[in-house]
Amino acid sequence: MKHTHPFRTVTAVLLLSALLLTGCNVTPAADTDTGTETVTEIAVQTETETEAPVPVTVTGVTDRTAEEEIAVDQMEEQFFEDVRYAYFFPSIKSQYVTVTYSDGTEKNIRDALAAGDVTPDILDDYGIKYFMRYNTRVAEIVDHTEDADFNGDIYGYEDCFYMDTEYFYTFPEQKGKYIDVTFTDGRTVNLYQAFALYDVVFSVDDLDAFGIAYDKTPRTFLPLTGTNEAQLVTEKPESYPTEEDVIAAYREAYELAAMFRIATDGGMDAILYQGMQYQRIDRFDSYEDFLAQMYGHFSSDLVFGFLWSTLTTQDDLPADQFIEYKGDLYAVDCVRGTNIHMGDETYTVTQMTDTAIVLCVTIEIVDPGSEEAGARGYEAFFFSYEYIGGNWVFTTFPETR
């Protein structure tokens, strides 16, 4: 009986296992002493190492319409869009805007953008003009007042949720804050907020598309214009106001200014606009009458300054304190009160030039809590009263109380 040497056998088995795992070829040979096969020759095969591929990169962007003077239609062309923006060329030329690569290949800008090789701002690097528009659009509009389990508070005021130069858009009662508008970028806001967003594409037409019913009333738009400054009159006026005329004009102007500075004096008729309650200002027959009185006493700059008074809504949106609604003036009712330390007034009128008068209003400083009578001091305020556009109006009107 032949005996196999145990050390040789174990060594052969382990070596063969290792070689098989590493992909080597083995050539067996007979063992003349034992008759068993042992490994006597080893031929190792190694794979040829391959070089890593060189990445292809963008080497340039060329507007061939400029370089080769290619004539194209002068109409704007959208060549790309993402979640936030749509990108446009001022002419139909995307096929001629060429992206070149390090391997010598080319693509037009549309295909390069679609493949993700570049982003639109690469055009800035090469001085190629384009422009953007917001592209976030409406995904869904839901009127929760139609929900079976709706239990929100609805005020009976007419709800003007939007207005443009042609129409007032309204609901018969408050519901704008219960209408959710969801945009393609995932944002969900109420209807009032949606109309205030500047970075989305949203209009009344979207309400139509989602079946939201509303009313619209034609609007006679009365823009604020520089009526008094239509033409600057440099020649002497035909007549000059007397001292009494200037003081009377000041008192009338003060009452108008007090509506913006002290109390709006709103009436009982009210509406909702952007979710806020506005009351009709009954002292004016109409919004047109209001503008006529304002321009009859103040320069255009002052009228704009008074009317550009803004507030913040419950949704943290800016809102005008005064609005025109269906021909009347409405305002968010505000009351500030007056300075109780300002007492009686005296007036001094001084003619400065043929077209300029200065009114000095001197006001007593008093102490209402003191038993001692009389003024504790005085404070003077100066008002410019000028002849502009055929009318005498105040061009400065400081706050006194």
User: Tens of pLDDT along 148-168?
Assistant: 998 887 777 899 999 887 899
The verdict on 63 and 124 lying in the same domain is: yes
The verdict on 66 and 82 lying in the same domain is: yes
The verdict on 146 and 127 lying in the same domain is: no
Overall number of domains in the chain = 4
Residue 287, in any domain of the structure? no
The verdict on 146 and 206 lying in the same domain is: yes
* Beta-strand pair 159-163/270-273: parallel
The verdict on 34 and 63 lying in the same domain is: no
The verdict on 125 and 180 lying in the same domain is: no
Any alpha helices (H) in 6-69, and if so which ranges? Answer: 6-22, 64-67
Distance of alpha carbon 173 from alpha carbon 214, whole angstroms: 10
Residue the block writes with tokens 């080893």? 42
CB 320 within 8 A of CB 331: no
- How far is residue 88 from each of residues 115, 193, 246, 285, measured CA to CA in Å? 18, 28, 58, 49
Residue 240, in any domain of the structure? no
Residue 325, in any domain of the structure? no
Distance of alpha carbon 151 from alpha carbon 162, whole angstroms: 24
- Ranges of residues in the chain with a pLDDT under 70 are 1-50, 221-235, 309-318, 336, 371-373, 375
Residue 384, in any domain of the structure? yes
pLDDT recorded at residue 338? 74
Query: Which residue range forms the structural domain that includes residue 25?
Result: 6-43
Closest CA to 2 of 28, 33, 29: 33
pLDDT recorded at residue 4? 47
The verdict on 125 and 72 lying in the same domain is: yes
Domain boundary among 198, 218, 238: 218
Q: Is the pTM of this model over 0.75?
A: no
The verdict on 26 and 62 lying in the same domain is: no
Distance of alpha carbon 354 from alpha carbon 29, whole angstroms: 129
Residue 263, in any domain of the structure? no
Q: For 30, how many CA atoms within 13 A lie in the half-sphere containing its CB?
A: 3
Distance of alpha carbon 293 from alpha carbon 322, whole angstroms: 15
The verdict on 29 and 64 lying in the same domain is: no
pLDDT recorded at residue 266? 78
Helices 287-297 and 243-261 cross at an angle (nearest 10°) of 130
Question: Coil, strand, or helix at residue 333?
Answer: coil
pLDDT recorded at residue 310? 67
The verdict on 121 and 146 lying in the same domain is: no
Residue 326, in any domain of the structure? no
